[in-house]
Amino acid sequence: MAKKDYYEILGVARTASAEELKKAYRKLAMQHHPDRNHGNAEAEHKFKELNEAYDVLRDDDRRAAYDRFGHAAFEQGGMGGGAGFGGFGFGAGFADIFDEMFGEILGGGRRPGANQGPQRGADLRYDLDITLEEAFEGTVKRITIPNSIACDDCKGTGSAGGSGASECGMCKGHGRVRAQQGFFTVERTCPTCNGAGRVIQNPCKKCGGQGRVRQQRTLDVEIPAGVEDGMRIRLAGEGEAGARGGHTGDLYVILGVGQHAIFQRDGANLYCRVPVAMTAAALGGKIDVPTIDGDAAEVKIDPGTQSGHRARLRHKGMSVLHSASRGDMYVELAVETPVHLSKRQKELLAEFAAEEAENKTHPESEGFLSRVREALGKK
């Protein structure tokens, strides 16, 4: 089968600049990297093609040879690399790009001994939903997460019997080897240790030399009072176990505070809308309103209260994080027009309406109508 064109693999034009090549490679390599596509043979093959293409095109001399002769430039003792990781050679600059792209994922940059030596475990994320009441009071939540823990057979070293890794005999611990190809000396990743510089001669059978195994873990997460939506809680050392005795990563619990049926939250303050009977708004009185702590609070209604009026209840809002204080609660009153009136109620309202003009009981609406007449030039 004919090999694909390197420019086509990277999805760039033949006139692409070095920066455009690098940008295209980074994007596609992140997408098809084996760490993000476990068990996906197609993605692994694509990742190999990308590295082979970029390894040639990133080098001006090799790119010029490829542009002139195509793949034939690297056959029959030409300029091509040896069979390193994945069956092809990496250029000298690949490690720098690999570090830049995947160093954080793998717990540090590539260096001699990195693959076979201790590696810090990955940080983990867990999304946890809680109610507004739980955010107010604080709570403890039990969560179960799939995780990697240190292998108890090899004590996390990856080596049976705890003998550890030894220096690679091929590269003498450097992680890279050189080979003469035609007029050029090509440096490539050591195929024996895959650039680690060290190898485990007797891998642990239980963990396959990784020093860690998969297992479900159950943790109790303490959530303090006053947390807000989107906040994160860091549990140090509760992430993925490090490979071959490396440090354990951290676990980040991301909180999602659910919507409430009554209250709306704005920081430490709470808001709620409470319907009030028309008669209570007109005559005045008192009503009981719910609060986030489960008790009822009394709100006074002055005679003639209008819709939209807000009453402030001090220190009845949310808890403030790491503080003994609380926010306020604002109650917005909504005057409710009565419905399903009886015959007698309609008669009483009709009598009331007949006396409205004389007593001027609706100053706001009457004032609005006066302004309308003035605007229209009518008396």
* CB neighbourhood size of 93 (10 A): 13
| SS3 at position 89 | coil
Q: What is the pLDDT of residue 1?
A: 58
Q: Which residues pair with 180 in a beta bridge?
A: 185
Say how far apart CA 122 and CA 244 lie, in whole Å.
13
Say how far apart CA 108 and CA 86 lie, in whole Å.
21
The answer to whether the CB of 235 falls within 8 A of the CB of 121 is: no
| SS3 at position 258 | coil
Burial class (CB in 10 A: 0-12, 13-18, 19+), 216: exposed
The angle formed by the CA atoms of residues 230, 233 and 239, to the nearest 5 degrees, is 120
Burial class (CB in 10 A: 0-12, 13-18, 19+), 315: exposed
Q: What is the pLDDT of residue 95?
A: 45
Q: What is the pLDDT of residue 220?
A: 95
Domains recognised in the chain with CATH numbers: 1-109 (1.10.287.110), 121-165+200-257 (2.60.260.20), 260-339 (2.60.260.20), 342-379 (no CATH)
The answer to whether the CB of 113 falls within 8 A of the CB of 294 is: no
Q: How do the pLDDT tens digits run along the chain, 379 residues long?
A: 567 899 999 999 988 998 899 999 988 988 888 777 877 888 888 988 998 889 889 888 888 888 887 877 776 444 433 333 333 334 434 444 544 444 444 334 444 444 445 678 888 899 999 999 999 999 999 999 887 777 877 877 777 876 667 778 788 878 788 876 655 667 788 887 777 777 877 888 888 777 778 888 899 999 999 999 999 999 998 888 876 667 888 999 999 999 999 999 999 999 999 999 999 999 999 999 999 999 999 999 999 999 999 999 999 999 999 999 999 999 999 999 999 999 999 999 888 888 876 667 776 766 666 777 777 776 5
Q: Which residues pair with 319 in a beta bridge?
A: 326
Radius of gyration of the chain (CA): 36
